[in-house]
Structure 1
Amino acid sequence: MKAITARGILSLVAATALAVSLSACVSESTDTGNAGGNTEKSDLACGLANGEAASGAPIKVGAIATASGGVDFSSSPIAAQAYFDCVNDNGGINGRPIEYSYQDDALDPTKTAQLAAGYAADDSVVALVGDATFIGCDVANAEYAKAGLYSITGVGVPQACFNSSNIAPINAGPRNSAISILQYLQSEGLADRVFQVGLNTQGNGDWVAAGIDEYAAANGIDIVGSELSDPTESNWLPLLQKIKDANPTAVIIADPGPITAAILAAAEQQDMRGDITWSCTASCYDAQFGQQIGSYWDGFIANSELELVDADGTDNELWKSVMDAYAPSDAPRDTFSQAGFLSAKIFTETLLGMSGDISRDTVSQAMLGISNYSSDLLCAPWYYGEADAHNANHATREAHIQDGVYVELAGCENVNDPSLDEIVQREQSEGLVG
């Protein structure tokens, strides 16, 4: 099947109702108004944690996310907005509020480029935080690089998000996520015969599939089938027949949560669980996913790029409380939301650590200097640094569904992707992690 370009995705996705019919897996709303739960805002320790509303000159921060067009990754900027709102209720940045907004690229790379150019041209925008574009990192990075503008991206998806000079994602990325699952399956003796499923998209689905193939070849794992489907596919019977014919011991799905849910629903109708270990990348790690796919899929495995959503820990508890107090009640509580929250927290603490004027130039230098940032949400410290590639998060966890809830299956493990070698060498030689 011919690979679909980013522009080709737009025309295809516009014709599908899949994301709408399965919208319970992700939030369709881009409303970031305060509509949260019962958490008392006065109890939250955000930023200066002084309980005083910031009222000075605003500090403008933006983001670009794919929130429509068939894919919704807005949980990252929604969480970033929630944290910034909490910061602004607690003194802001030494009295100055953070004026945050994100814009939807609607799965259109042309629009991504236009939005990126708009941010780049607006000198009052000091940085980007919590971005989550499904397709546009390459065109966005080109605009940012010309303008000296940098992004602490919440969720990177295509390869370009990780091979960019001015974009540094919090998450590990779908390739790392898929390889991490394969490593786990191998360690448990479940990777004798593996079938991989993903999106037929350039720089994303093919990049992930190549990672699985490369790891499998280096470790003697038999990949018995690989199917990269159109993002608008809705008939999963041909795929399921291919899986049956291949007789795998495990299936790794690297699709967005709604698509994976549709595949699983069709597989359940065919009663295909059997002796196959079914799994998915972090796109399926959502607190509600187990209830959505039903009890038939107890034991289903997903990778978690950050801490489990129900875990203890200072930052994880703060994320949950901030979401309850400041985010819409239906906003996803997933790994991408955690990433957006953490990107905002890292940015806030970076600004609070600055002295002197706050401008694009000074903020950019401060961001590039971030190193050894530790959080219970992460398996290892996060950093920025000057480089043409950024993938600081390359250690993840695995979880599986029990009684409709994800529980930890395996703790933090480094992802053994050979493409990370240069990044790991650089972070060690430059002291970016402790």
Structure 2
Amino acid sequence: TSSCAAPATGCGWPGSARTGSASPSRRAARSAGCRSSGGSDGPIKVGSINGITGLFQTPEVPKAVKAVFDEVNAAGGINGRKLRLVAKDDAMDPARAGQAARELIKSEGVVALAGSSSAVDCGLNRATYGKEKIVSIPAVGVDPSCFTSPNIAPVNPGPYALTTAMLYYASETLKHDKVCVDYTVLPGSGGGIENAIKAWSDLTGKSLAHKNLAVGQGDPTRYLVADKNAGCQAVLYNATVGPWFAQARTQGMQNVDFILAANSYTDANAKVIPADMNAYAGTEWQPYTDPTLPGNERWSRLVDRNGIQKTAFSQGAVMAADVFVQVLKGIKGDITRESVTRAFKQMKPIDYPMAGSPWVFGPGGEHSPIKGSQFVKADKGGWKVLPGGFTVPTKK
């Protein structure tokens, strides 16, 4: 990116065009010197890469981010400049995800990415973000690279920290000795899950009774029979809910506690779980099915007002947009890619009531700031929030 003649204030000089006192030649110089990094008096462009089509779909995420930006713009924007979201659909296609990142950075001139929700973005584009010195604040971090990259810091715990919390809940809160895992693992994510299981073992001194990280989407009978044979008292599971619980009931597994990953925490899944089965779910933020919980009030009002689907993913979208806006409001001088990156690397932690721990970007080489999970239980076709607040794994 291009540098500017006044580093103390980014790409804006005193008496810039915003105040109406800069000369035409000076305005032209500023524009020419800073165009590639986003400095101008026009809109602040912010990128995101989302799964709108394909196998991993989160269409509500960019809608919720835009709703936050619209709210900020209606109140005057950031120092008089409007926020403009430029969202790209990668369809869970690596080629499209790579192209999207290049277009956002090179063609659109975004100052940062905020509110991405892609299963392939982080692993594919982490090197690009580092090379271009641009930060990304995903609403939904999925693959391990989202949590181990210097220029990416998600606002969700992610499937790995969540898996550790779920295992911890099964063994330490539910007091089960025989804990098992049946997971469908996305390509490239197996190492992250193995590390999450190891983290639980290191904290508790316990080991799994049975593990299968290659669960398919077909008939689940063989997986459930293996769980029965292993004497599983609790089973962590992250694939299709309806057929799994129908077959578990047929197998007479009503005494087993099934603990579902966050992707299964939906209204539709609660309705298909048999009433005599024990199904829990780990949530990444405050349970979205209770709008009265801390932090959920604002999210609930915002998505209702804009006709956006209430999901955990839309929670992450609002949080990502909110913390992004808060950091931008603290920037002195012009808002450019350089000043935005610097602000996130130097920021103080933000307490966000929807999350289980403070969120911070910071200067480190990897970022996984959000820890812990709340737990809910399927009850009469819905989800009941369980007492105890956020479960944050600690050394025993």
Shorter-chain TM-score bucket reads: 0.7 to 0.9
Distance 1:323 1:393 in 2: 23
Tell me if structure 2 keeps the 8 A contact 1:121–1:147: no
Is 1:264 equivalent to 2:245 in the alignment?
yes
**1:276 Cα deviation from its structure 2 partner:** 0.4
Q: Which amino acid counterpart does residue 335 of structure 2 have in structure 1?
A: I
Distance 1:301 1:63 in 2: 32
Kindly state the Cα deviation for residue 188 of structure 1 after the two structures are TM-superposed.
3.3
Q: Tell me the C-alpha RMSD between the 2 structures.
A: 2.4
- 1:383 deviates by 0.5
The yes-or-no answer on 1:142 pairing with 2:120 is no
Query: 8 Å contact 1:371–1:381 — kept in the other structure?
Result: no
Question: 2:340 aligned with 1:363, yes or no?
Answer: yes
* 8 Å contact kept, 1:190–1:249: no
Q: How many percent of aligned residue pairs carry the same amino acid?
A: 27
Deviation string, structure 1 residues 120-172 (Cα, Å, up to 9, x no partner): 22362111011111123122111111111111111111111101111100000
User: Secondary structure of the equivalent of 2:81?
Assistant: coil
Query: For the structure 1 residues 234 and 102, does the alpha-carbon distance in structure 2 shift closer, same or farther, using more than 3 Å as the test?
Result: farther
Q: Does 1:243 align with 2:227?
A: yes
Tell me, yes or no, if structure 1 residue 324 matches structure 2 residue 304: yes
Contact kept? 1:93, 1:351, Cα under 8 Å:
yes
Q: Which residue of 2 aligns with 1:339?
A: 316
Conserved 8 A contact 2:286-2:293? no
Deviation of 1:70 after TM superposition, in Å, equals 1.8
SS of the residue corresponding to residue 362 of structure 1 reads helix
Map 1:38-49 → 2, pairs under 5 A:
none
- Cα shift at 1:294: 5.0
In structure 1, the residue corresponding to 2:389 is in which secondary structure?
Answer: strand
- SS at the partner of 1:412? coil
Deviation at 1:251? 0.4
What letter matches 1:354 in structure 2?
A: I
Q: Is the aligned partner of 1:151 residue 2:132?
A: no
Q: Is the partner of 1:167 in helix, strand or coil?
A: coil
5+ unaligned residues in a row in structure 2: which ranges? 1-40
Residue matched to 1:400: 377
Q: 1:316 to 1:371 in 2, by over 3 A?
A: same
Which sections of structure 1, spanning at least 5 residues, go unmatched? 1-55, 419-434
- Partner AA of 1:412 in structure 2: F
1:211 paired with 2:196, answer yes
1:151/1:214 CA distance change after superposition, 3 Å: closer
Partner of 2:13: none
Number of corresponding residues: 354
Q: 1:218: how far off? A: 5.6
Give the aligned partner of residue 287 of structure 2: 308
Contact 1:198 1:205 in 2 (8 A): no
Amino acid in the other structure paired with 1:263: W
Secondary structure of the structure 2 residue equivalent to 1:345: helix
Q: Secondary structure, in 3 states, of the residue corresponding to 2:335?
A: coil
The 5-angstrom pairing of residues 108-187 of structure 1 reads: 108-122=93-107, 124-187=109-172
Matching of residue 195 in structure 1 with residue 172 in structure 2: no
Cα distance change on mapping 1:168 and 1:87 into 2, 3 Å = same
Counterpart residue type for residue 354 of structure 2: L
Give 2:259's match in structure 1, choosing from 254, 279, 290: 279
2:53 aligned with 1:68, yes or no?
Answer: yes
Which residue in 1 is equivalent to 2:34?
none
What secondary structure does 1:168 align onto?
coil
SS at match of 2:111: strand
Aligned-pair CA distance for 1:92: 2.1
**Residue 391 (structure 2) aligns with:** 413
Moved more, 401-410 or 299-308: 401-410
Q: 1:83-135, CA deviations, whole angstroms, 9 ceiling, x for partnerless residues?
A: 22222233222332211132121122222122112222236211101111112
* Residue 380 (str. 1) matches residue 357 (str. 2): yes
Structure 1 residues 320-342: Cα deviation after superposition (integer angstroms, max 9, x where no partner): 111011243xx2x2222111111
**Residue number in structure 2 paired with 1:43:** none
Higher mean alpha-carbon deviation, 65-74 vs 346-355, is at 65-74
Superposition deviation, residue 271 in structure 1: 4.7
Query: Is this contact kept in 2: 1:171–1:339, CA < 8 A?
Result: yes
Distance in 2 between residues matched to 1:94 and 1:274, nearest whole Å: 58
Partner of 1:94: 79
- Which residue identity lines up with residue 358 of structure 1 in the other structure? I
CA deviation after TM superposition for structure 1 residue 73, in Å: 3.1
Aligned with 2:368 (options 385, 391, 397): 391
After alignment, is 408-417 or 370-379 more displaced? 408-417
How far did residue 417 of structure 1 move? 8.6
